Structure 1
Amino acid sequence: MSSSGLVGVFGGSFDPPHLGHAEVVSSFWENFPNAGELLIVPNHTSPWKQNKKTPPELILNLVQVQFKNFPNTKVWDWEIKRETPSYTEETILELLKVRPNAGLALLIGEDNYSEFHKWKNWENILNKVYSLLVFRRFSESIPQNKNLQEFQNKIVFLQNRIIEAASVDLREELPKCILDNRKPIALSDEVWDIILKNRSYT
């Protein structure tokens, strides 16, 4: 497959998007500069987490702003508009309907990689995608998941710069930050301005 046929798929809550997410996108383009595109796929509800309190329209706005300066990087709103839990297999199958000739490169963090064999129909996901790109969140080196041994030829470990940021921690921190007018270090200025203007996360 030519690199121009590669389509990155980066899903998550992005509630809110932060500089750690931006670093993952940077790493993708550093490693695959000739890829066709990278899709940012914010979910509505994760099967593993509680329902979001942040309106979908606000998350889409924040995500658009966070990634607007990256080339060929687009937001795909299919998951967040479904208003149901987001299962990766369903997303991959839907995306292959839209882009049947694409080689999909699914980006996941090291924490999700370690639990990937517990995902719904995880083997079918790996059979459908061209590659699984694992980015670092906390560890200098990512431990192997022995349950995925059969698919090692599809797995690529990215050496992205580690930025200690998590959306769940930011959501807890933001009410006081907004009250004090103090921007969290993990947020870009543009994302922070929108959050402050909307008085969201309070």
Structure 2
Amino acid sequence: MISSDLVGVFGGSFDPPHLGHAEVASSFWKNFPNAKELLIVPNHTSPWKQNKKTPPESIIDLVQAQFESFPNTKIWDWEIKRETPSFTEETILELLKGRPNDKLALLIGEDQYSEFHKWKNWENILDKVYSLLVFRRFSQSVPQNAHLQKFQDKIVFLQNLIVEAASTNLREELPKCILENRKPIVLSQKVWDIILKNRSYC
């Protein structure tokens, strides 16, 4: 795979970002050390989830703290500033407007991969991106999705370390953790310091 013009696109709620997210970024750079850049794309509202309670500016601060140590890794805030549900096809098309010569590599988790054929205009997404990078969240190996068979030449399964962390669970735990001044093990110190400062999850 030619990677000098490869741009990773890693979206999600990042509410809050955790060490599992950092491991995905690390795996991307290990596999594609010559890639042009990795874009972190926090969404405002996922079509599959309820609206966020955490302010967008707090999410951006947390994401910046989580990923600032990675080379050529930037936040793209187009989705989080839209205040509407984020559909991946729209994001990809918007990205390609400004960088038509880049090869976009969309990063998704194994759970998203298994449901990818249910995404809005999923075939058009796979037509537009250069590759689909699937990272592990729970399983040692990712089961195949038969609906995506004709796109197999575009799909790469990353052998990232599995970090047992989920933002949904963290949001439930954080009020008590803040009260007890007890940092969850899956949060970086920088992210934890910002959470304590902003009191976003109290």
- What is the TM-score normalised by the length of structure 2? 0.99
Partner SS for 1:70: coil
Amino acid at match of 1:152: Q
Which range moves more in the overlay, 47-56 or 190-199? 190-199
Aligned residue in 2 for 1:176: 176
Give 1:2 shift.
3.4
Dislocated runs of 4+, deviation >4 Å: none
Partner SS for 1:3: coil
C-alpha distance in 2 between matches for 1:200 and 1:8: 29
Partner SS for 2:4: helix
Q: CA-atom RMSD, angstroms?
A: 0.6
Amino acid at match of 1:199: R
Aligned residue in 1 for 2:131: 131
Q: Deviations over 1:17-63 (max 9, x none)?
A: 00000000000000000000000000000000000000000000000
Aligned residue in 1 for 2:36: 36
C-alpha distance in 2 between matches for 1:104 and 1:199: 36
Aligned residue in 2 for 1:187: 187
Aligned residue in 2 for 1:71: 71
C-alpha distance in 2 between matches for 1:80 and 1:47: 13
Identity, % of aligned pairs?
Answer: 84
Partner SS for 2:9: strand
C-alpha distance in 2 between matches for 1:44 and 1:16: 13
Partner SS for 1:4: coil
Aligned residue in 2 for 1:107: 107
For these two proteins, the number of residue pairs brought into alignment is 202
Q: Are positions 1:14 and 2:20 aligned together?
A: no
Q: Deviations over 1:113-151 (max 9, x none)?
A: 000000000000000000000000000000000000010
Aligned residue in 2 for 1:164: 164
C-alpha distance in 2 between matches for 1:73 and 1:83: 24
Amino acid at match of 2:125: I
C-alpha distance in 1 between matches for 2:47 and 2:198: 28
Amino acid at match of 2:170: L
Q: Deviations over 1:38-94 (max 9, x none)?
A: 000000000000000000000000001100010000000000000000000000000
- What is the TM-score normalised by the length of structure 1? 0.99
What are structure 1's unaligned runs of at least 5 residues? none
